[in-house]
Amino acid sequence: MEEISKHFLNNNRRHFLKKLGLGIGGLAAASMLDPFSSIVEAADSPLKGMNLPHFAPKAKRVIYLFQSGGPSQLELFDYKPLLHEMRGQDLPDSVRQGQRLTGMTSGQDSFPLVGSQFKFNQYGESRAWVSDLMPYTAKIVDELCFIKSMHTEAINHDPAITFFQTGSQQAGRPSIGSWMSYGLGSLNENLPTFTVLLSRGTGRPLAQPLYSRLWGNGFLSSLHQGVQFRSGKDPVLYLKDPDGMTRSERRKMLDHISELNAKQEQEFGDPEINSRIAQYEMAYRMQTSVPETMDVEGEPDHIIRMYGADSAIPGTYAANCLLARRLVEKDVRFVQLYHMGWDQHDNLPSHIEKQAKDIDQATAALIMDLKQRGLLEDTLVVWGGEFGRTNYSQGALTDTNYGRDHHPKCFTMFMAGGGVKPGFTYGETDDFGYNIVKDPVHVHDLQATMMHLMGVDHTKFTYKHQGRRFRLTDVSGHVVKDLLS
């Protein structure tokens, strides 16, 4: 079998690679599947001539901690004392400036301003503002790079989250993780390049839903689709062998399959057969490597304590943070987490408290854990949701209760590690926390910056589909140079 596949790879690399759907970056993966091959080019690869990465990357891996639902910047990071002073007063038209509102508050008679119910303090040498909701995050602000001036175009969840993940509000484009998998390829030979972990928050019982297209490959090869890692007995769909089958039996079966397939290949000469043989081998390795990665039994107590008690409960955000560290330790290129439940239209104070508690400790622990292992240097951690929330209350404002609607014009995100400035805050909003007054960062700018950190020029990294060259940042986006360390 080996001889045949060697022969083929040498004679027909181009076709082989095309079928595998691999780009230049993917070549690294291909050469690992085929230890003796030293593939240098795929003449018909759409990536030909792009020379990815375009320049030396600062980050080799990404952990994207997506906070689904739209966390309120006003309760977490963007401190606005004026909103306390003006509590209950109507949002001035001069501030709103005709901004379109969602149908959930457009019918309200008034837009009563409301400040955070949670206290703010400045922390660290960087003197970053953080509320009492995030005590663990407060302790590590000198590692973080805050962007206070994020803005987006969408005002509803479905288009807004799709925009963040794919660069377009409407479905159909590849997810950012798929782009990275396609362009930069795999760093390891046992795990998928792009993995996805989901968790449900405690902050809102009816959380915003998620859609598998958010980690979909769009028009790229399905080889680049995000692979969901789940808690439970089958961490990757269909990973577990049928009941009763032993590993040695599985091995034996695969050997037979390879042998019989190789015989077919000799008869029909179809290079696709060899790529299938290689894919079966990868599947076999995943059957071992995935459960190994998911098994946190061996993690010492102090690590579990560091991430919080939840990290011992599979499927929680904390457990997923721990898994994210284990995945990047094994050189998984892109780890995408989603934590649901940040959509606090009503009962915001009580709901956001629980929601923040879900994530605060584990997020901080993840960053510090990466740091102590020397992984933070070349791993980019990104935290944020799909939009922010309004400075006025949705529904009635009472002494103890209020809600906030979606707000696209400003919100806060933070990053850490992989080439971003630590202990740094970028951008400013007005005293109302409604408009950006300094250094706006658009969704496409953030995507351009993330790609830049990965060594990719977002304007040059395109994929031709149906006659048009598509890119993650569509037709806009600027690298925010000030964020780079």
Nearer of residues 263 and 373 to other proteins, judged by Cβ: 263
Decide whether 38 or 248 has the Cβ nearer to other proteins.
Answer: 248
> How many CB atoms are closer than 10 A to CB 299?
16
Tokens at residue 235, please?
């961490």
| Cβ at position 330, least distance to other proteins in Å | 16
Phi then psi for residue 255, to 5 deg, are -60, -40
Cβ proximity to other proteins: between 340 and 364 the closer is 340
Rounded least distance, CB 207 to other proteins, Å: 6
Closest approach of Cβ 370 to other proteins, in Å?
26
Please, what is the minimum distance in Å from the beta carbon of residue 131 to other proteins? 26
**Distance set, CA 43 to CA 11, 20, 180 (Å):** 13, 14, 21
Q: SS3 sequence, the chain?
A: CHHHHHHHHHHCHHHHHHHHCCCHHHHHHHHHHCCCCCCCCCCCCCCCCCCCCCCCCCCCEEEEEEECCCCCHHHHCCCCHHHHHCCCCECCHHHHCCCCCCCCCCCCCCCEECCCCCCEEEECCCCEEEECCCHHHHHCHHHEEEEEEEECCCCCHHHHHHHHHHCCCCCCCCCHHHHHHHHHCCCCCCCCCEEEEEEECCCCCCCCCCCHHHHCCCCCCHHHCCEECCCCCCCCCCCCCCCCCCHHHHHHHHHHHHHHHHHHHHHHCCHHHHHHHHHHHHHHHHHHHHHHHHCCCCCCHHHHHHHCHHHHCCCCHHHHHHHHHHHHHCCCCEEEEEEECCCCCCCHHHHHHHHHHHHHHHHHHHHHHHHHCCCHHHEEEEEECCCEEEEEECCCCCCCCCCEEEECCCEEEEEEECCECCCEEECEECCCCCCEEECCEEHHHHHHHHHHHCCCCCCCCCEEECCEEECCCCCCCCCCHHHEC
In the complex, what is the shortest distance from the CB of residue 94 to other proteins, in angstroms, rounded to a whole number?
A: 22
Indicate the residue among 239 and 352 with the shorter CB distance to other proteins: 239
What is each CA distance from 385 to 151, 212, 261, 389, 414, in whole angstroms? 11, 17, 47, 11, 10
Nearer to other proteins, 345 or 357 (CB): 345
- What is the nearest approach in angstroms of other proteins to the Cβ of residue 174? 12
Report the residue number, 277 or 382, with the smaller CB distance to other proteins. Answer: 277
Nearer to other proteins, 283 or 303 (CB): 283
CA–CA distance, 254 with 344 (Å, rounded to integer): 51
Closer residue to other proteins (CB): 250 or 326: 250
CB of 48 to other proteins, least distance (A): 10
| Closest separation in Å from C-beta 323 to other proteins | 15
Tokens of 130: 């953080």
Q: What is the nearest approach in angstroms of other proteins to the Cβ of residue 291?
A: 13
- Nearer to other proteins (CB atom), residue 138 or residue 282: 282
Backbone angles phi, psi at 129, to 5 degrees: -80, 130
Nearer Cβ to other proteins (167/418): 167
What is the nearest approach in angstroms of other proteins to the Cβ of residue 11? 7
Q: Taking the complex as a whole, how short is the minimal distance between the CB of residue 324 and other proteins, in angstroms?
A: 17
Specify which residues 227 forms β-bridges with.
195
CB of 172 vs other proteins, minimal distance in Å: 6
Closer by beta carbon to other proteins, 20 or else 367: 20
Q: Which is nearer to other proteins, 128 or 282 (CB)?
A: 282
